Structure 1
């Protein structure tokens, strides 16, 4: 699911306004348990004995209509089930019918323990969904610095851009998530990462986000940087009524 964040409409002679494509909010997990077979229901409900029994009849990566047992266990934070499925050689990077893999499910649903287990066993943190969002885009919305930290410890691309050209830092600024903005910058995010030639500082200035502006300046944001139309962050602020 994709949302577009914009800061008003572009007027003639004014700087262009960037938008940010956001992943689904964390916690958006639809399980449809009544429609699941025994194996998948067991994986969703922490019934490890039934999971063991189910694996004798079905493959470890068997799907219901949408997801594998690993997807369901990750969405529900069932660390023991996740570990058991991994021990039985399940595939870590299969996608569901929404093009989301188990790691994305775990991050979406804020299941940090499952995130840690998946990463420790080699789940790929840099896979992208249909909108180009990688797992590191997801903790920005929550916000969830713990999950973000786990991903960054496993060398995920901190400046990864989705199909809209939106990196996590731009998304954090667009969502007014000051804690995540500072967290990403402290972890080495590029303070000048662009979205349609608009820097994070320009995005913050467009919304009059004084606290975010201070954080970005503290981490070296260049106030003299110009977009392709010659506009600086100060121009963005003045045009949108934030001359102070």
Structure 2
């Protein structure tokens, strides 16, 4: 299946190889010290005292060159105390960076569960979409985090949201071979008949990869074996075409 989610691309504001940067967890922003103001640098490093000082001089929602706020940086790096302080001081929760990602989306992408919980409890929108059309729930699926996916669904995340390729979180879970999160989504009511832009269903995606265990789960939830995509192919056709005649 064509990979269209955009996670391998170099993001705006990221470092060229060999540049001095702040350390960061997988998925977080790569940051050059010289590109950050004092408030953003303090938020990225988790220095709460400096964040407090910075708020006396700088606006809480000020942006850097990549449109990131202090909240974006604190969330991406998992600085819970800084996130709570910013939220309690009425920062805006749903501002978007250059990739159209909110602080919540960065917290999800970087698997910062506590930050995700704080943002959702204070009203962050779980249904915003980034430049690829992915919502926070799509990002939770990519990270394989059932706990974060559950938090998002508890706060009214759209379980069947489609990205720009028409992929729902369930279709994405199948394409990423995440059986556990796939079944979790199905138990929560995800549409087993969801279709992408080419009318492909989760069953077709599983069949094209020869994923027998995934196929069994999808069939148990009533997946339609007779549905045809825009090429007129069924899930069985996908299995045969990809060499999985079994």
Q: Is the 8 A contact 1:108 1:138 kept in 2?
A: yes
Q: Per-residue deviation at 1:98?
A: 2.3
CA deviation string 1:133-188 (max 9, x = no partner)? 11110121221111111111111111100111111111111111111111111111
The aligned runs of 1:177-196 (5 Å cut-off) are 177-195=178-196, 196=198
The ranges of structure 1 where at least 4 consecutive aligned residues each deviate by more than 4 angstroms after the TM superposition are: none
Residue matched to 1:49: 49
TM-score normalized by structure 1? 0.88
Residue matched to 1:24: 7
Residue matched to 1:13: none
Cα 1:31/1:232, change in 2 over 3 Å = closer
Partner SS, residue 4 of structure 2? strand
Residue matched to 1:14: none
The aligned runs of 1:103-114 (5 Å cut-off) are 103-114=104-115
The aligned runs of 1:10-159 (5 Å cut-off) are 19-22=2-5, 24=7, 27-35=26-34, 36-66=36-66, 67-159=68-160
Q: Per-residue deviation at 1:228?
A: 4.1
Q: Per-residue deviation at 1:33?
A: 4.8
Q: Is the 8 A contact 1:173 1:203 kept in 2?
A: yes
CA deviation string 1:193-225 (max 9, x = no partner)? 011111111111111110110110111112222
> 1:214 and 2:213 equivalent?
no
Q: Is the 8 A contact 2:29 2:73 kept in 1?
A: no
TM-score normalized by structure 2? 0.87
Q: Is the 8 A contact 2:29 2:76 kept in 1?
A: no
Q: CA RMSD in A?
A: 1.6
Consecutive unaligned residues of structure 1, counting only runs of 5 or more, are 1-5, 7-18
Structure with the greater relative contact order (CA < 8 A, sep ≥ 6): 1 or 2?
1
**Cα distance in structure 2, aligned partners of 1:32 and 1:20:** 26
Aligned length: 227
Q: Is the 8 A contact 1:23 1:138 kept in 2?
A: no
Partner SS, residue 106 of structure 2? helix
Partner SS, residue 21 of structure 1? coil
Q: Per-residue deviation at 1:27?
A: 2.8
**Cα distance in structure 2, aligned partners of 1:214 and 1:194:** 19
Consecutive unaligned residues of structure 2, counting only runs of 5 or more, are 9-24
Q: Per-residue deviation at 1:112?
A: 0.5
**Cα distance in structure 1, aligned partners of 2:30 and 2:50:** 18
CA deviation string 1:40-99 (max 9, x = no partner)? 111112211111111000111012222111011101111111111111110001111222
Q: Per-residue deviation at 1:23?
A: 5.0
Partner SS, residue 96 of structure 1? coil
